[in-house]
Every structure is written in structure tokens, then in C-alpha cells.
Structure 1
Amino acid sequence: MFKQLVPLNKARHATKKIKQIEGFGFASEFHIASLMVHEFSRAAAIYPVVFLEDKEKDRFRPVVLLGLEEGVNLFTDADGKWQSSYVPAIIRRYPFALASTGQEGQFTVCIDEGSDLVSDTEGVPLFGDNGEPAEAIENIKTYLGELQQMDAFTDEFCKFFAQHNLFTPLNMRVRQADQAKNISGCYVINEERLNNLSNELFLEIRAKNYLPAVYAHLISLSQIERLMTLGEERQSAKNS
């Protein structure tokens, strides 16, 4: 997603402006997007919500499937417009992100200097004439801070289910355009193991407020059929 991500500072970006997002062409090749637990309920009505394993960091993270083929986002059209009612937060925050400063719990706001949304002439100023952060930066800091808290909650959610061996590989064979396609490399919460948990552990999941996300995730898996349909429709449009 990011081309040239650097820390935001007034010396380097004093004259920069940020244009309003009017299209999502930058995400047209994203077939997955990271998601946070707080987004599961809204995302589940549109996308399959699954988990990926990051073996280097020994952790799992949730994502939405935006397409069944690498490099193909079925929810952006030729004009870069998003073709659904909910856009994942990680895409909406572009071209900004938080990066760790190296000190525990400390983060800095970064900006993608390679983004078309960053301009010297158009948009909302990032800094005022006095060199102080403008309202746009304050809003960005607030938004990114909220996302960081959600991300921490999501990380704890994934750690809990991994520790209790509740993730299982998703192996699904579907048919698309008269061809068989294997969906693999993803993980889902094992519903059978979930139903066989002890009462004590199940009550702990409820107390942690994880249950709504769990059920949203499981329900979302039926959206894989939606991706198949969208893929077939796009292929038909190309061939016509």
C-alpha cells in the first residue's frame, strides 16, 4: 500500500497538503486487507473474515478477503470507486499510519510521500503558517490513536484463540468459471472446538467480549460465495 512512508514533521512537510480521498484506485490490487475485531460485525455482511499466520512474529491476524486471486480487488471498479457500503479502516486511513518509535507504547505519525493524495498545491494544509500542526493533523492523530487501541485489542483476541488451539486451516474447494479453485493459506476459528470448550473457558470468552466477533467471523465465511459471483461477473464483463 505504501510507497514512501516517512515520519511526519513540520520541517519536511510544512508546505504539504492532503487531498480528500475520492477514489480507492491505490487499493485495486489488494486481494486482502487487515481488519480489527471492532470491524467484524460490519465487514461480515460483505466480506469473508479469516485469519493469516505471521510465522516470523508467531502471531495470527484477521483480514478480509477482497478477492480470490492475488492482485485482484473485486470491490474497486475501473474508476477506483469502492463497490460496497463498508471500507476497512486500514484503507480509509491512507496515506497515514502509525509506526513504533522503538520505545514500548510510543508511536509516531507517518505519511506516504509517494501518495497522489499528498500535494503542494491542493487540499487541506497539514501545518499552519506558524509551523504548528493544523486541525487536519490533530484529527489524524485522534483517529490513528483509536485504531491503535483497537489493534491492541485485536492482538489480544488472536493470542487468546491461538493459545487455546482454536484456529484451524481453511481448506475449501470452489468452482469459478467452470474451474476448480482451492482456497488455502487462511485460518478460521474451529466451531466444533469452540462448542466443546469447558463452561469456564466459554464464560471467559464472553467476559472478554469476544463472542460477537467470533460469531460474525463464522457467519462471514458464507461471503466466499459472493466473491465467486463477483469474480465471474467481472470475467464476463471483460469477455463481452
Structure 2
Amino acid sequence: MASAPQLPLFYNGLEPLSSETHANYRVRPQDTAPYLVGQHAIPVTVDEFPLVQRHMPIVFSIGDDAIPLALMGLNEGTNVFVDDAGKLTESAFYVPAYIRRYPYMLARLRPDAEELSLCFDPTSETIGAFDDGELLFENGQPSELTKQILGFNETFEQAGQRTQQFMRELRELDLLMDGEVTIQMDGNDQPFVYRGFQMVNEEKLAGLRGDQLRKMSQSGMLPLLYAHLFSLSLMRDIFAKQAQRGQAPQPQLQPAL
């Protein structure tokens, strides 16, 4: 989601996975994700909208290159779905694919390279030359685990391409507008106002021509837009979770992203 020299969210470095260099590398399971602590906005793909909208608000980042984001908190530095160690606090929770992809990702080793290579973050504590865990290579060949990791990353990239197309169509239809959510908390005279994100303009959506709406319905785009719109009601639930954890901000203008 970021361009060089920046690294994407969570990643501290990228190293291509090699059967020679990493012949004895293993992966060991981990039930915590410390990199999630304090991360309030996570990129999601359109393929995930139906599942994400049950648990988190889906909004769009600001700017011309907007992307869909799932909000795990309404304020910088808050994530109401993990504890201080990065362990999920809810059992029946959909974990976005972007989170599950880490510490791996497909990347071009050179700017002019056509193919994507499977890389990993060498600072991750889940992969290394351990005595325990599942091997990434066996007899110089990718193990079943590595094949599964590669397959998941390929699927994620394909979903990313569909998401880019979805965002292009949103921009062409001029359906995005600056978002604002006002939350009134009992005992406070001033409301909490959240901005700094984009959302679909319902009036413009309703005003589209019949042929445009029919095309969006047939392509599956229309249900995704309503999944986004319905999910916005969860902002109040996220706010309530923040208040329960003592993370409610002062009543003033709050940038959600």
C-alpha cells in the first residue's frame, strides 16, 4: 500500500525468501500480534467487505489514491480488538487478510522486474532458523506450508487488483465525499466529531441513472457500497469500546485516520 522507499504498514524490512539462504528456516505459530497494538486503521480488499462490515466500520482514506480501511479504533494509537500484548480479545472476529498476510508479501525485487517474488519481514519473530516449527523448505524445494503462503499471497494480490478497479470506478462516478460522524456521549455537553476519512455519498448514489445502477448491481459493486454504508453504524460501537477501555478522547474534533 506504500511506494518505495517507504515500507507498507507493519513491515520493517523485506527480504526475498530463498531455498539457499533460508534452507533451515522454520515458521512457529504465535497467538499474539504485537504489531497490531495501537494500529487503528487496516487496509482491506473489496472481497472482504461482506465479512468486515459485521465487525468494523469500513471507510476510505483521504486523497486521490484512496483505499478502503477497516477501523479497529477511532483514534490514533487505539485498537479495541487486541490487548496490550496484541492478542485478540474477541473469539468470533474476522481478521483482515492484510493482517494475516504478515510477515510475507509479494514484491518486485527490482523496479523493472515483471514477476513478483515472495518476500518476508526479517524482523518478524515468527520466522527464522529455529529448532522448532514448520520448515519452509524440504530437500531444497518449497514445503507445503510455503506453497500455502505463496497461494494466499497470490490470492491477496488478485483481490488487491479488484480493489483498485473498484476505487477507479468510485472516482469515475464521483461517489466519494468527505466523511463526518458525530457521537454524543452521556454526561458530555460537547459531541465528539470525527473527520479525516471519505465515505460514499448516498444522495449521489441514489441519483445515478437506472442503467448505471443496473450495471453496478450486476457487477456486484452495489452490494459492496451498501456494506460500507451499513458498517458506518459500528463507529458508535467502536467508540463505546474505547470508552470502556478508558481510551475515550476529549470532546473535540477527532481525525479518524
Both structures adopt the same fold (TM-score exceeding 0.5): yes
* Paired residues for 1:161-176 under 5 Å: 161-175=170-184
1:78 partnered with 2:84: yes
Residue 79 of structure 1 and its aligned partner are, at CA, apart by 4.0
Partner of 2:56: 47
Partner of 1:87: 95
SS at match of 1:40: helix
Partner of 2:252: none
Aligned match for 2:107, one of 74, 83, 99? 99
1:65 partnered with 2:75: no
Partner of 1:132: 141
Greater share of helix residues, 1 or 2?
1
Aligned match for 1:108, one of 112, 117, 122? 117
SS at match of 1:115: coil
Once residues 145 and 112 of structure 1 are traced to their aligned partners in structure 2, the CA distance between those partners, rounded to angstroms, is: 17
Total equivalences in the alignment: 232
Partner of 2:254: none
Residue 99 of structure 1 and its aligned partner are, at CA, apart by 1.3
Aligned match for 2:159, one of 146, 150, 159? 150
SS at match of 2:120: strand
* Paired residues for 1:168-207 under 5 Å: 168-175=177-184, 178=188, 180-207=191-218
Q: Note the residue ranges of structure 2 that are not aligned, 5 or more in a row.
A: 1-9, 248-257
Contact 1:49–1:63 (CA under 8 A) maintained in structure 2: yes
Once residues 41 and 234 of structure 2 are traced to their aligned partners in structure 1, the CA distance between those partners, rounded to angstroms, is: 14
Residue 103 of structure 1 and its aligned partner are, at CA, apart by 4.9
1:210 partnered with 2:216: no
Residue 148 of structure 1 and its aligned partner are, at CA, apart by 0.8
1:7 partnered with 2:7: no
Contact 2:213–2:222 (CA under 8 A) maintained in structure 1: no
Corresponding letter in the other structure for 1:59: D
Corresponding letter in the other structure for 1:94: Y
CA RMSD of aligned residues (A): 1.8
Greater share of strand residues, 1 or 2?
1
SS at match of 1:13: coil
Partner of 1:226: 237
Contact 1:25–1:76 (CA under 8 A) maintained in structure 2: no
Once residues 59 and 72 of structure 1 are traced to their aligned partners in structure 2, the CA distance between those partners, rounded to angstroms, is: 24
SS at match of 1:64: strand
Corresponding letter in the other structure for 1:120: A
Contact 2:17–2:118 (CA under 8 A) maintained in structure 1: yes
Contact 1:50–1:64 (CA under 8 A) maintained in structure 2: yes
Q: Percent identity?
A: 29
Corresponding letter in the other structure for 1:86: Y
Once residues 174 and 12 of structure 1 are traced to their aligned partners in structure 2, the CA distance between those partners, rounded to angstroms, is: 53
Residue 21 of structure 1 and its aligned partner are, at CA, apart by 3.2
Give the TM-score of the pair, scaled to structure 2.
0.84
Summarize the Cα distance change of 1:13–1:203 in structure 2 as closer, same or farther, 3 Å threshold: same
Q: Note the residue ranges of structure 1 that are not aligned, 5 or more in a row.
A: none
Corresponding letter in the other structure for 1:222: S
Residue 110 of structure 1 and its aligned partner are, at CA, apart by 1.0
Q: Which moved more, 1:114-123 or 1:37-46?
A: 114-123
Residue 197 of structure 1 and its aligned partner are, at CA, apart by 0.1
